[in-house]
A and B are shown apart, each in its own frame.
Chain A
Amino acid sequence: MNILVFNCGSSSLIYKVFSAGSPEDVEEVFSAKASRVGVQGSVPSYIETRFGFTTWKRAAPMKNHRQAATLALKALGETGLHIDCVGHRFVHGGSHFHESVVLDAEVTRRLELCRPLAPIHNPNSFSVIGECRKALPDTPQFVAFDTAFHHSLPPEAYSYALPAKLVQRFGFRKYGFHGLSYQYITRTIPSYLHVPVEDLKIVACHLGTGGSSVAAIDGGRSLDTSMGYSPLPGLLMSTRCGDIDPMLAIYLMTTYGYRSDDVLDLFNKRSGLLGVSGYSSDIRDIIVRASEHEEKSALALTMYIQRVKKYIGSFVVLLGGMDVLAFTDDIGLHNPAVRQLVCEEMGWCGLVLDPAANARATGNAISSLSGETSRVRILSVPTDEELMICLEGIKLLGATIGTPV
């Protein structure tokens, strides 16, 4: 069967077609990424496509994700690929969804209720689903959630200590994110190590160019994670402040006369690495400037690393030990300096990095980075959210669609 997968970012749209015989036999046959969707600026939006042995890039005006999806479906139509089902990444399923689902009228109604939970991502996913329905009215669609993996959080991890009536009314609780990524690496690590997932205590660091988080995974189940009700808390991110005193939000409004939206914007878009360094939101720029002893960038780097280390420590205690420390996503995979700094002086929990292996790891394949004396396996693990969505599709629809192409 051929599965078309859409992964909606805040300003990008990734779409891929997988040809699947079984969960063990999946091949990517088409892949494209639309960038700068809905972004105003000097560089126009563009699409990069790979089909067969050919890759090409072209500029294309895309004011929003709906237009990006229209172009995507048109381009796919021209390839002649038959599509058996369409899968979508949906960032925030709230407490309405605990696992991937096939789209029908009832599911659509409940998805609508999740719209305000991720005001940037969820509406984009909706418009893409709408376009698919128009172009492929008879093709089944399904949705996979970034929050679903963290459905297993125990109450002491997901509860905020707020009055019960507010929690009931607004659904305030920790949801956690990057679930598809964690789900994917939780699947690949045990087979790489030849250890059953039940026997593994994993601390996973999903370090992205935009958002980052850490998860404690015990026997394949999420036990705690650093993001919360929204993707704001936890690690220090490119422009997000991460953990912060909630009373500061109030203090900034009362003392500085900021409006609520100003502070929300400040915490989400002008803080993090950008806020501390006053220079760049990109950790790679920060590392360069820090190596030149520029004070603010050096502080930004120290704070970024310290926050990752603190979460690793927290999760080691919650798990009662750690078997695997995994790094994934762009920064986690392609930035040996970050991994090295994170693992420094972490011998107390058994971490010893092998500097040579760390420098060698390419990020294209799962690699072991731990030294001989390390009691913990340190791994860099490529993640693949689209492939994870595809696998969810096989699980949901494989039996009904049946025969592989």
Chain B
Amino acid sequence: MVLLFDPAPPSLQWCKVHGGKLSGGTYEFGHQSDELVRDHIGGLEAVRTVGYVLHHGGEEIDRPVSLMTRDSLKSLERCMRFQPEYNEVTLKAAEFWMSRLPDVRHLLLCDTAYFAKLPPEASDYAVPGKLREDGIRRYGGFGLCHQWAWEHSELFLGHSVRRVISVYLGDHSNVAAIADGSPVDTTIGFTPVEGILSSGGCGDIDPTIVFELHSTGMSLREITRVLSRESGFTGLLGRECGFTDITPGWDEPAISAVREVLCHSLKKSIGAFLSVLGGVDAVVFLCEDPPQSMRLITALCHSLEFLGADRRPAPEKQGGVWNMVHDRSNVPILCLTYDKWKIIAEAAHNFTLKER
């Protein structure tokens, strides 16, 4: 049995992988741990592996999956300056379960590590060297997901794919450029606020706005809250709004305006990465519910027609993958179903296989 944890502050999401089946939920970390074991896991005897998702591994963690030891807990502590809310939950969970289950395998699954070796022109900001030496750089994110997307696009197409643009669509949409399996650019920056607007995050904005807000007396804590939680889809719409609210309300004007901003931002990122890669051999979309997102994906595919993307009027589902274009298309475009736990479980499983 494999137990997996992903921080969702102040709670912790968990997933149990047993006999090829996945089940899970959310629990309040700490006082509900015993309840979790008793009611859901059904005893710890069968647990062989425990995995923890780390959202931001900073400069410390540069391997997507690694074995956890007492020493790696120390390097985890050094990541606390990045996304402290999330990272602290991961750290506490790891400390708790490592002492509870000292004899099983513990794995750290890091979402930024895939991007640890970005070329400097992608990772560096144009700020003075002293800050860049201090770890002020772009770290990327959703590494496990983009790596999975690249592997599965090769599986589906049946050959190696040199240049891939991987587009994750969801509450925190983001795009990665991958060359020969290694990422060469990402829309996510030092924090996940940079890049594509999210359900509550503003995405790319003029940084001058931060100074202007501060000069009106708004505290840094307030500005942080506004830019990371009250902006994005929610800010534009004026009410709580997630990705799953955007696609069904296709014709509602207020929602359609939000979708236009999202689409615009996605198109620009895809275009930027076409330049970074010098062209593209496959574009891969990932989302939880492809049929529901099909109109959005179709609109994005439409903007790639000038490249010779030969769009199918109705995307065809082939072996669990939606093929958005005809086989004769210059650019293959696929849509994969995103299942967070499946991706994490697969990464943990593959690591364990290699270890043997």
Contact = CB atoms under 8 A, between A and B. Distances in A.
Chain B binding surface SS class = helix
A242 B206 contact: no
Contacts of A156: 257, 260-261, 263-264
A266 interface: yes
A229 interface: yes
Interface string A29-64: 000000000000000000000000000000000000
Contact of A249 (B132, B203, B211, B216): B211
A152 to B, nearest CB: 15
Contacts of A316: 271, 274, 306
Contacts of A306: 121-122, 276
A27 interface: no
B127 interface: yes
A346 B275 contact: yes
Contact of A245 (B194, B212, B238): B194
Chain B: interface size category: 35 or more
A348 B305 CA distance: 13
A401 B210 CA distance: 46
A236 interface: yes
A273 B274 CA distance: 24
Nearest to B203: A161
B268 interface: yes
Contacts of B223: 250
Interface in A348-371: 348-349
Given A156-B263, A276-B124, A317 B210 contact: no
User: Which interface residue of A299, A311, A317, A349 has the most chain B CB atoms within 10 A?
Assistant: A317
A128 B231 CA distance: 40
Interface stretch (B40-48, B62-70, B142-150, B185-193): B185-193
B193 A299 contact: no
Contacts of B209: 160, 162, 170, 172, 229, 246
Contacts of A264: 208, 211
Contacts of A346: 275, 278
Interface string A199-243: 000000000000000000000000010001110110010000111
Given A170-B212, A248-B125, A260-B211, A161 B261 contact: yes
Given A159-B236, A161-B203, A317 B220 contact: no
Contacts of A137: none
Interface string B114-138: 0000001110111111011000101
A275 B268 contact: no
A114 interface: no
A348 B274 contact: yes
Given A164-B238, A314-B268, A249 B128 contact: no
Interface string B202-221: 11111111111111100010
A331 to B, nearest CB: 16
B338 interface: no
Contacts of A263: 211
Contacts of A252: 131
A172 B227 CA distance: 13
A155 interface: yes
A246 B303 contact: no
Given A233-B208, A244-B194, A303-B126, 11 more contacts: A156-B263, A164-B235, A244-B127, A246-B209, A246-B210, A247-B189, A248-B136, A250-B227, A317-B267, A317-B271, A347-B278
Interface of A: 155-157, 159-164, 166, 170, 172, 174, 224, 228-230, 232-233, 236, 241-255, 260-261, 263-264, 266-267, 270-273, 275-276, 278, 296, 299-300, 302-303, 306, 309-318, 320-321, 345-349
Interface of B: 81, 120-122, 124-129, 131-132, 136, 138, 189-191, 193-194, 197, 201-216, 220, 223-224, 226-228, 230-233, 235-236, 238, 257, 260-261, 263-264, 267-276, 278-280, 303-307
